[in-house]
Amino acid sequence: MLVSIRPVISVPGTNCPAETEMQDSPTKSDEFLSDAQLCELMHVVPRTTARWRVSGDGPPFVRAGASRVLYRRSDVDAWLAARTFPHRAAEMSQGVAA
pLDDT above 50 for 56: yes
Of 6-15, 42-51, 74-83, the range with the lowest mean pLDDT is: 6-15
Cα(first)–Cα(last) distance of the chain, in Å? 37
Mean pLDDT of the chain: 79
Question: Residues with Cβ < 8 Å from 30, sequence gap 6 or more?
Answer: 23, 24, 72, 73, 74
CB atoms within 10 A of CB 78: 14
Q: What is the pLDDT of residue 1?
A: 37
Does the pTM surpass 0.75? The reply is no
- pLDDT for res 30: 78
12-35: average pLDDT: 61
> Percent of the chain scored above 70 by pLDDT?
67
Domains of the chain: 1-30 (no CATH), 31-98 (1.10.10)
Bigger pLDDT: 94 vs 40: 40
pLDDT for residue 27: 61
Q: Which residues pair with 29 in a beta bridge?
A: none
